[in-house]
Structures are given as structure tokens and as C-alpha cells.
């Protein structure tokens, strides 16, 4: 069974600093990988997805993530944090034959300080 681990439940960054959120997965074959963002009292918004094309994936709001098969990782980065980036971020995976069934990590809460 696949699983997703997000390292760090809370991350605090200064405005303008690099944002780095870590995600590792366990799967027998490279899965489909996603990053979602959730603002307070809202649903989930897709930031970006990896579907076996380019290993460096660019998403919305300046975020990008790199798929590293050898490390079974899919870390999310943004070069310069903005106050509006304060939210909870979830890494998720699904397998090719289980489309529509996402396995989520526990989430990382991002706080941006002025």
C-alpha cells in the first residue's frame, strides 16, 4: 500500500524567503503525485501535478516541484514567499489503476512572517 510522508507539520518562513516543503512517498511504481493548498475553511486547490512527463513541474502562484524517483520524493518549492502563501499544503499520490483515490499526507502548515 502506498503512503505519503510530509516532513514538518509546521513551517515558518519570512516574506521573500525560500519556501521548501518536503514530501516522500512509498510506492512500487512511480505514481501520480500532487500538491494541494487549503486556505482556512475552504476546500483543496490543486497547485501542481506530476504525471510521468517532465520531472520538474511548474504550478500556479510561482510554485514548482521536482520528482526524484531515486529518492521517492516530490518536494515543493517557491523562491520567494508572499504573505498570501500562508495556508496548509498537502502532498498526495494516486496509482495508475486507482484513479480518483488520493492518498494524502498529514499536511504542512505554512506561516509567513513579515
Contact letters for another protein, residues 9-48 (x by CB under 8 A): -----------------------x---x-----xxxxx--
In three-state secondary structure terms, 13 is strand
Looking at the Cβ atoms of 28 and 114, the one nearer to another protein is 28
Residues that contact another protein, how many (by CB under 8 A): 22
Alpha-carbon separation of residue 32 from 13, 40, 103, 104 (angstroms): 28, 26, 10, 12
Instruction: Using the rule CB under 8 A, give the single segment among 22-30, 58-66, 75-83, 94-102 that binds another protein.
Output: 94-102
Alpha-carbon separation of residue 41 from 3, 13, 27, 37, 74 (angstroms): 26, 22, 31, 12, 26
Contact letters for another protein, residues 48-67 (x by CB under 8 A): -x-x----------------
Amino acid at each position: 500500500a502506498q503512503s505519503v510522508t510530509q516532513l514538518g507539520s509546521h513551517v515558518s518562513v519570512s516574506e521573500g524567503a525560500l519556501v521548501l516543503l518536503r514530501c516522500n512517498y512509498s510506492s512500487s511504481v512511480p505514481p501520480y503525485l500532487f500538491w494541494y493548498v487549503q486556505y482556512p475553511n475552504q476546500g483543496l486547490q490543486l497547485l501542481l501535478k506530476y504525471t510521468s512527463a517532465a520531472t520538474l513541474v511548474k504550478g500556479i502562484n510561482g510554485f514548482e516541484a521536482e520528482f526524484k524517483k531515486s529518492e521517492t520524493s516530490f518536494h515543493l518549492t517557491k523562491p520567494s514567499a508572499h504573505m498570501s502563501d500562508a495556508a496548509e499544503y498537502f502532498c498526495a499520490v494516486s496509482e495508475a489503476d486507482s484513479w480518483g483515490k488520493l492518498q494524502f499526507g498529514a499536511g504542512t502548515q505554512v506561516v509567513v512572517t513579515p
